[in-house]
Each structure stands twice: as C-alpha cells, then as structure tokens.
C-alpha cells in the first residue's frame, strides 16, 4: 500500500484491479487545504492513458507484479512459448504482448517477463541482438558518407536502415528498443 507522498514518475500502482505506471507527475500545494498529486497514468495491460488526482490522505494499492527470466522456445502460431530454465514450465505469451519484438527473438534467448496475477503483461528482450543481413544493395568501395543509409533485410524479413558500407552477409547489431541498426559486428568474408 502506497501513500500519496510515495508517488513519483515510473512508480507502478493498481487502480480498479489494473496495473498502471505513472508517466507524468505534478505536485501542487494550494494555500490552504490538502496537497494534490496530479498523475498521468498508463495502463500496463491496454496501453491506454488517463489522468488522476490524489490527495495527501489517499492510499494507493500496490500491484501484484512478478518479473521472471524465461527463455524463448518457439512460436506455435497462436502464442510465443517461453520456458523456465530450471523447472522447464512453459509460459504462453500472446502475440499482442510481443508486438514488433517478434522479429528479434532467437531460440533460447533469455527475456524478462513481467507477470500481473500470474498473467504475462510485458516482455523485455536484451537491448541488442545480432542478425545477419540477407538482402541489401551492395555498397560501393569508399562509400563512407555519414548519415546516408539504405534498406536491408534480416533473415525473418524485417527491414532496417543501414549505412552504405554494410553488405549482404554482414553480421549487425540491432537495438531492440528502437528496432534500428546500432553497428556492424562482423564483415562478410
């Protein structure tokens, strides 16, 4: 149970049985009366936002959240299957929770999964993954102009923008938070 004085940006709270994260926070102390805590809240399940004002005497529920490290196993067509490395228990994660991160999943990849009342609500991948470029226009020798990019595809069809010097067969590092090229790891031989 939180008190209104505990509220801050990034704090996770529960309202009407649903977990929210505080995305913006403003404290206001009028001349007389109770202090007011204005919060912008984002639902951790639906992604919808709302504004709510708390008074200094208010008590706010703490959500029952649990984070576990699980390994990605496979996609069965209806859900992404993750398994616990110790108990081998399988967890089914709906595709809408994975979203665009499906392009970056690799077999046996370690991911952080956030559960609310034993249901997965968020999957966090490692910040960077390494993928091979399978299709791109060849770069001309000496092409080192800065900030000039070209389209390139990785093995699952996901398209990223890469610098001109990156060629087919190169191993690149991709930032999973943005879905963008980070650096070339290994040049194709």
73 and 118 housed in the same domain: yes
52 and 7 housed in the same domain: yes
pLDDT of residue 149: 86
Distance, in Å, from the CA atom of 21 to the CA atom of 14, rounded to the nearest integer, reads 9
33 and 11 housed in the same domain: yes
Total count of residues recorded for the chain: 189
Do 172 and 179 contact (CB within 8 A), yes or no? no
171 and 146 housed in the same domain: yes
114 and 78 housed in the same domain: yes
Distance, in Å, from the CA atom of 77 to the CA atom of 63, rounded to the nearest integer, reads 31
Q: What is the pTM assigned to this prediction? A: 0.78
6 and 49 housed in the same domain: yes
Q: What is the per-residue burial (b if ≥16 Cβ within 10 Å, else e) of 122-140?
A: bbebeeebebebeebeebe
22 and 49 housed in the same domain: yes
pLDDT of residue 147: 75
User: Could you tell me the CA-to-CA distances from 108 to 82, 114, 115, 131 in Å, in that order?
Assistant: 9, 18, 20, 15
Distance, in Å, from the CA atom of 133 to the CA atom of 159, rounded to the nearest integer, reads 9
Distance, in Å, from the CA atom of 76 to the CA atom of 101, rounded to the nearest integer, reads 16
70 and 119 housed in the same domain: yes
What's the CATH number where 148 sits? 2.40.50.140
The number of angstroms, rounded, from the C-alpha of 136 to the middle of its chain's C-alpha atoms is 27
13 and 28 housed in the same domain: yes
160 and 136 housed in the same domain: yes
Distance, in Å, from the CA atom of 120 to the CA atom of 65, rounded to the nearest integer, reads 10
Do 113 and 67 contact (CB within 8 A), yes or no? yes
User: Tens of pLDDT along the chain (189 residues)?
Assistant: 888 888 899 899 999 889 999 999 998 888 777 888 999 999 988 888 999 998 888 899 999 899 999 999 999 989 999 999 999 899 999 999 998 899 999 999 999 999 998 899 999 999 999 999 999 888 665 555 567 888 999 988 899 999 888 889 999 999 998 999 999 888 876
79 and 43 housed in the same domain: no
What's the CATH number where 27 sits? 2.30.30.30
Domain boundary pick from 44, 60, 76: 60
Domain boundary pick from 108, 124, 140: 124
Q: Which residues pair with 183 in a beta bridge?
A: 173
139 and 171 housed in the same domain: yes
Where in 64-187 does DSSP place strands (E)? 65-75, 80-83, 90-93, 110-116, 119-124, 128-136, 149-154, 159-163, 171-175, 180-186
The domain tally of the chain equals: 3
Domain boundary pick from 124, 152, 172: 124
Residues 6+ apart with CB under 8 A from 34: 55, 56, 57
- Tell me the residue range of the domain where 172 lies: 128-186
Would you state the structure tokens that stand for residue 136, as one six-digit string? 């791109």
């Amino acid at each position: 149970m939180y008190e209104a004085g505990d509220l801050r940006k990034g704090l996770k709270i529960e309202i009407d049985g649903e977990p929210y994260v505080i995305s913006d926070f403003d404290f206001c102390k009028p001349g007389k009366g109770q202090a007011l805590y204005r919060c912008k809240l984002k639902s951790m399940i639906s992604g919808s936002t709302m504004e709510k004002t708390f008074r200094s005497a208010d008590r706010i529920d703490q959500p029952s959240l649990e984070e576990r490290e699980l390994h990605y196993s496979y996609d069965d067509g209806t859900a992404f299957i993750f398994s616990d490395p110790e108990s081998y228990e399988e967890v089914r994660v709906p595709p809408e929770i994975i979203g665009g991160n499906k392009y970056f999943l690799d077999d046996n990849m370690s991911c952080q999964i956030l559960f609310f009342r034993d249901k997965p609500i968020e999957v966090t991948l490692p910040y960077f993954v390494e993928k091979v470029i399978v299709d791109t226009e060849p770069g001309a020798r000496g092409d080192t102009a800065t900030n000039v990019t070209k389209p390139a595809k990785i093995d699952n069809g996901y398209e990223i923008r890469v610098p001109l010097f990156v060629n087919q067969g190169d191993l690149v590092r991709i930032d999973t938070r943005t879905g963008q090229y980070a650096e070339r790891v290994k040049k194709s031989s």
